[in-house]
Structure 1
Amino acid sequence: MSTVKTKYFEYGSTELNYLTYMDPVLGAAIRRFGRVERQVIPDIFTALVYTIIGQLVSVRSANTVWSRMQLTFGDITPENLYTYTADSIQACGMTMKKAICIHDIIEKIVQGQFNLSILNTLSDSEVIKQLISLPGIGRWTAEMILLNCMERPNVVSWGDLAIRRGTKKLYGLQELTKQQFDEYRKCYSPYGSVASIYLWAISFEKDY
């Protein structure tokens, strides 16, 4: 079984001080939580597969499938997985739709139809445009790659239900419009990704 390399999203006092200054409400939450670590998967392909597995399922379910994939296939690389069928991938516990998407993406990469390495040279919007051209990849998945893999500094995803829930809990809102969300996102810029890390923590905190 391979061990997928992970690390923590890198941030420090610059980001925390800026967010606290710009938004005292978020600043209070930052002080209350202390440092929140966010694990990231630096390899884009590996992170892409993990994020597809996690679409519309719980973290626990996604991690179960993820563990089975590593146990079954070893290294999660395009070249290694290319030798397996979509049925073999699906047998790890995901839907056939996800398995086919992963298989199709693997083929595009191995056959030279999609260049993952170029993504690191592109802007956030260009990365999203490239990724959503792949089967099964929508804007939310692309934004998660930006934050949870590429460590881009200013990602706050409207499409992430937990981030929206955390925003409502933080500011005591019954409803949250896209316009309100965009105003908060502008306030967090250029360190929106660190704000997202705290919004996730707030979202999952009990009895907040």
Structure 2
Amino acid sequence: MYFQYGETEIEYLKSRDKKLAEVIDKIGHIDRKTDKDLFSSVVHHIVGQQISTKAQATIWKRMNDELGEINAMTICGAEIEKLQSFGMTYRKVEYIKDFAGKVQEGTFELEGIWEKSDEEVIKELSALKGIGKWTAEMILLFCMERPDILSYDDLAIQRGLRMVYHHRKIDKKLFEKYRRRYSPYGSVASLYLWAVAGGAIEGMKDFAPKKTR
């Protein structure tokens, strides 16, 4: 499954911003995978914190191969040592076990959260151990497919903004200008800013000042 968007979002963003329009035309449609299972998405994001994408994929494959399915029952039933053996730190295992326990007890309702606003989802997810605002925003975008997510705390988003608009620095005030401009389709804008930050367009550079020793 990929994040769903089409001509409506594209034409709106292009009409709002000429520079972003050029980026969209050069890159074309972006396929970014999503995970519609909220439980596994939360666990996947905890697993991936502060490690490479490759390391995250390796751990995730081991978990799926061994547990069969990533849900509250399989996580609660697995010993701490078993989960650590997949390549996770004790702290991450603690976060995942705590989340699984809350789901199994019913103190965190997986189904009910889908009906809540972006702000309410961020508040509820951020109350979990190991989940901060940025992780909650990524879950909103890549699991719940909310249409208007642009994260100030995402360094690659800031890098993409610097590259597209030739800024040396993105402060909160400047970020909010772009967030309002892209709304209500900030999530699609995020896909293109990530692509730019990752080098999708040859010759585009980051205008951040060089760090001196």
Higher Cα Rg, which structure: 2
* 1:105 equivalent in structure 2: 99
Match of 1:201 in 2: 195
Task: Report the Cα offset of residue 86 of structure 1.
Answer: 2.6
Q: Does 1:190 align with 2:173?
A: no
CA distance in 2, matches of 1:153, 1:58: 26
Q: Structure 1 CA distance, aligned partners of 2:164 and 2:143? A: 26
Structure 1 portions without partners, runs of 5+? 1-6
What is the identity, as a one-letter code, of the residue corresponding to 1:29?
Answer: V
Gaps of 5+ in 2: 205-213
Q: For each residue in 1:110-144, what CA deviation from the matched residue of structure 2 results, as whole angstroms up to 9, or x when unmatched?
A: 11111111111100000111111111111011101
Amino acid at match of 1:39: K
**Corresponding position of 1:3:** none
TM-score (norm 1): 0.94
- Percent identity between the two aligned chains: 43
Say yes or no: does 1:159 pair with 2:134. Answer: no
Alpha-carbon distance, 1:58 to partner? 1.8
AA at the equivalent of 1:159: D
1:85/1:103 contact within 8 Å kept: no
- Choose which of 50, 53, 66 in structure 2 pairs with 1:56: 50
- What are the residue-to-residue correspondences of 1:90-169 with 2, within 5 Å? 90-169=84-163
Tell me the equivalent position of 2:208. none
Q: Which residue of 1 aligns with 2:80?
A: 86
RMSD, matched Cα? 1.1
Q: Note the C-alpha offset of 1:203.
A: 0.8
Which residue of the partner structure matches residue 172 of structure 1?
166
Deviation at 1:87, TM superposition (A): 2.4
Are 2:32 and 1:38 equivalent residues in the alignment?
Answer: yes
Shift of 1:85: 2.3
Deviations 1:12-65 (A, max 9, x none): 000000000101101100000000111100010011111111112221121111
Report the AA paired with residue 74 of structure 1: G
Taking the aligned partners of 1:161 and 1:68, their CA distance within structure 2 comes to: 29
Offset at 1:195? 0.3
Which portions of structure 1, spanning 4 or more consecutive aligned residues, are displaced by more than 2 angstroms? Answer: none
**What TM-score do the two structures reach when normalised by structure 2?**
0.92
Q: Do the aligned residues in 2 keep the contact of 1:124 with 1:146 (CA within 8 Å)?
A: yes
